[in-house]
Structure 1
Amino acid sequence: MNDMTPVETTLKDWETDQEVRWCPGCGDYAILKAVQRTMPDLGADPANTVFISGIGCSSRFPYYMETYGFHTIHGRAPTVATGVKLANPDLDVWIVTGDGDGLSIGGNHTMHVLRRNLDCQILLFNNEIYGLTKGQYSPTSRSGTRSPSTPFGSVDRPISPCAFALGSGARFIARGIDVHKNLGNTFKEAHAHRGASFIEIFQNCIVYNEDVFEDFVNKKTAPETQVWAVHGEPLLFANGEKGLALDADTLELKVVKVIDRDWQGAGVMIHDQTNRSLAMLLVQMPFGEFPMALGTLYNDPAPTFDAAVMAQNAAASEGKDANLQALISQGQTWTVE
């Protein structure tokens, strides 16, 4: 749990002896290293940490963390994670999934772990493709995506993982980029949140969907294409020359120019991460017309599922003798000679 006594570790304490096997250049390497580097900063204890994954490229993750781990079945990591957390609430539970694993076959399970608000961190690697099964289109693939399963281009409308999470009742929503230096800070904020923390990580699949995010991750154009949401600070981008304001007529966000650093005069909004409506506006901004919203977009804690279950069990057992034999023997019994 997030309030456990900190343990002093180093990066090496979180690395396993297993050969890390992803395609050369895969964004998963960067995410893995970011997590391993962050764990010592959290004061996390490998003996009380569990990484749980489903199926997909991202789901090899537990093999590479020197902790406890489960590589489970397709889409069911949240189900196993719920059982783990209820069996031992003191464990620090991390779920690793992908856009296919977590939003297609596992969409139902992701929805329920979010609405229940299980105390865990959910890392959803989004590369907008099925990588492990050789490049079929996924729930997040853009319209027009050509793949073995959509040779003429996908006609589906892609799902927004963060909008899905908000709609499912998630209380913590964040976005990050696999190779960005801020990813570790996002992990720290997610870990500090008590409840289900959902982080969408844009991850480059170098084989089947290379550079699909280049239009906003490119460092040269990033100031114009990224807006980093920081609680209590104005939503500025383009080196402070542009910002996001609320259109009073449409109640939608709009891009405004900032002259002489006067962002208040331009009507730029201050980010309030407890404002769910603002979070929904940020995650649904159409890229191209707007920059990509990154960082912690929503953070408004609520009672957790595991704490409620533990409290209910404690109340139900109060004043009762924990005698298993007496429980088994009560009622109608008989002896077989």
Structure 2
Amino acid sequence: MRPRILFVVERFHTNLWEATRALNAAEIDVAVWGSGSGKTEDHSVVAPRLFPQDADPGAFRAAWDALKPDLVILRNVARHRRAVARLARASGTPMWFYDLNPYHWREPLKRRLTRRFQGLPLRRVTPVLGLDATIPPSRDARYIPWPVMAAPDAAPCDADTRNGREVTVLCVAKLHNPRKNHGMVIDALRAQGRAGKVRLLLAGTIGDPVQHAAQVAALQEVASAEPWLELHANVPFKQMPELYRRADICILPSVREPLGFAPVESMAYGCVPVISTDAGSAGYVRHGENGLHVDVTRPGAVEDVLASLLDDAALRHRLGAAALATAQGDLGAERFVTRMRALLQESGVTV
């Protein structure tokens, strides 16, 4: 019988798409339960089952009895995590907690005691490695990075063959959120006199059209006045490969970013990832080998890291090739399934 994994999340994040596809292809059934949905999600592989905030416990019980999961992974911010945990405890179904705290991080005792009091599992899974490998992880923590979607036509970054014109920089992050630092990238390229010589693509969701109108309008005004800059709002997940194929560099200059997965997804297209050291996905990159880190708190850091890539086509090609190899290997579907099978076996589930 095929094992069944239940992910309990707040919403179906885009990084779940390739994970669910890979598991289903490996004859591991996946269900996703959540409480909300976003405009850019792709439910073509697994459609999440959404429960309202005040869902009747009987609805959870009926859904649980119909699914009979073998393993449950509970997102730490999922609204219904405690309701599902009660069902798992009652049936003896193994559970893991899922959060975005680094693997190389010592979880405070108070947090563990709080989870125990709430009936949540102490064992946790995280896709965030952390940059400080000198910190020994807890014995109850497991690192399982999300897989990236394979791109059959991928090639290492090379501006001459990609678009035949200018080097293209892509920044994917919520357009309405100031901590994503879109302006930092725009200013860095202007300061180098590259406006009009380099193409910059800004992509992301616009958030609440009323609450975030001012922030989005400011970006739209810049984009309309400067033809070297393109704004791509609310791009559906299934259309993101079109942007990744155009880009040579994918930069995430965010601060306080728990994960930030777009630069990692871009690696599957031979793009060079440039990731803020304050982003959880920075651990997916080995600086100078398959991408670059940038400390955005240091003045001029974004300008310097972009200049190093824009002025050196050989460096872009080398890093892009290594990024592609990483995406096809350690971050590929096969490696992810191997890790998930190991988690199932550790949990006592026959695979």
User: Normalized against structure 1, the TM-score is what?
Assistant: 0.28
Higher share in helix:
2
User: Normalized against structure 2, the TM-score is what?
Assistant: 0.27
Q: Larger Cα Rg: Structure 1 or Structure 2?
A: 1
